[in-house]
Structure 1
Amino acid sequence: MQLRRHLLIRWTVRALLAALVVTGCAPQPVTGPPRAAAFNATDTAWIQLMIPMNERARLLTGLAPSHTTDPALADLAARTGTRLEEELTRLRGLLDLSGVPDTRPHEGHDMPGMVALGTLGRAEKATGREFERILTDGLRAHLAQSGTLCASERTSGGAKEAKDLAAAIERSAARELDRLGTTARS
């Protein structure tokens, strides 16, 4: 269903562009490099790593409502999950803008800051304090590594859009680390 919808949209866009060319209403070429050229290897590597990192962290936060007994931690997980979804939307948009195909080079990897598949498996079976420890440890590692990766993107990235998103994610990660520290102590 998704593929059919994607193909229909692609065909519609191509037909619209062809009609614009035939009628003489095609957009004029933009002077300078296309937006995709502004993305360097750091930008695309950062985007391709942040997407699976956020997806895994989102899976972990999604377990909180049925696995934790701590209302403050459940609330933190819900807010973090919402933020992760928003970031994923923006990251996927940047990947499209970069012109790099979504090849998922980090699929199945367990990297620093990425919630490991084994951790997700343990979290699915855990409740109460055990789950809360898994959640806080996983989020703490994710947020710290996200901040580090975003700082590197801001320093070495080329595309303004990617560097701006990295700065926003870095600020959010720092705030959520503070909240996590406060929540875990209460």
Structure 2
Amino acid sequence: MNRYSSLALTGCALISLLGVSACGGEPATPAPAPVSATAAAVFGGTDLAWIEITVAMDEQLLPLLDLAPTNSSGPAAKSLFAEVKALHEDELTNLRALHTEAGLPAENQHKGMPMPGMVTPEQVAEAAPLKGAEFDTFVAEKLKAHFDQGVNLAGSEGKAGVEPRTRALAEKVISSRRTYLARLGEIS
């Protein structure tokens, strides 16, 4: 079994541990510094799976948030969605650096994987014609699922991950997701 086959099995095992059936902070908290290419690191299977899954989840959320400036109902929702988008863009910078350092393949095997919290292109298409409160409610529902799953996955990384910067990023993910879960009520 090669490294990437092992990674795929580890990712499926991680998802299984979280009870997922499908396998096919503070808002202003700064993200950790980008990973140095010269830093020596040892990534375990959980680290590798968490990085790939979280990259896929964050990347697939952004197109939904891109609709907010024109589709959202008002300043509070637009502001919250903009904060969430900026947070995920910052996370992606750090996740992609870890991804590169870990030597993961360019093609993310978790992209498009049907799982809780993963925003799909179909959901983005469904949201595109929605306006105002209807759009805000739709996005809030997707964000809740995304945040809940992010906390679950990052919790698994915290328990079983071995690479210190990856574990630290997972802790920040838990904190930020919990913060934004609490703030979703601001727009309902």
Residue of structure 1 in register with 2:178 after alignment: 174
1:147 aligned to which of 148, 151, 159 = 151
Residue of structure 2 in register with 1:35 after alignment: 40
Residue of structure 1 in register with 2:187 after alignment: 184
Question: Is 1:97 aligned to 2:101, yes or no?
Answer: yes
Structure 2 distance, partners of 1:127, 1:141, is 21
SS in 2 for 1:69: coil
Structure 1 distance, partners of 2:75, 2:81, is 10
8 Å contact from structure 1 (residues 123, 131) kept in 2 = yes
Q: Where in structure 2 are there 5+ consecutive unaligned residues?
A: 1-38
1:81 aligned to which of 76, 81, 85 = 85
Residue of structure 2 in register with 1:54 after alignment: 58
1:89-139 CA-to-partner distances (Å, cap 9, x unmatched) read: 000011111122222101222311111221111111211122112110011
1:32-85 CA-to-partner distances (Å, cap 9, x unmatched) read: xx834x101100100000011001112111110100112211100000000000
Structure 2 distance, partners of 1:110, 1:82, is 24
Q: Which runs of 4+ in 1 moved over 4 A?
A: none
Structure 2 distance, partners of 1:165, 1:146, is 12
Aligned residues: 150
Compare relative contact order (CA 8 Å, sep 6+) and give the higher one, 1 or 2.
2
SS in 1 for 2:107: coil
Structure 1 distance, partners of 2:77, 2:54, is 23
Structure 1 distance, partners of 2:45, 2:106, is 14
Higher alpha-carbon Rg: 1
Equivalent AA in structure 1 for residue 161 of structure 2: G
- Provide the TM-score with structure 2 as the length reference: 0.76
Q: Where in structure 1 are there 5+ consecutive unaligned residues?
A: 1-33
Question: Is 1:111 aligned to 2:111, yes or no?
Answer: no
Cα RMSD for the two superposed structures: 1.3
Identity across the alignment (%): 35
SS in 2 for 1:35: coil
Structure 2 distance, partners of 1:103, 1:157, is 22
Residue of structure 2 in register with 1:65 after alignment: 69
Structure 2 distance, partners of 1:124, 1:109, is 21
Equivalent AA in structure 2 for residue 43 of structure 1: D
- Provide the TM-score with structure 1 as the length reference: 0.77
Structure 1 distance, partners of 2:141, 2:114, is 15
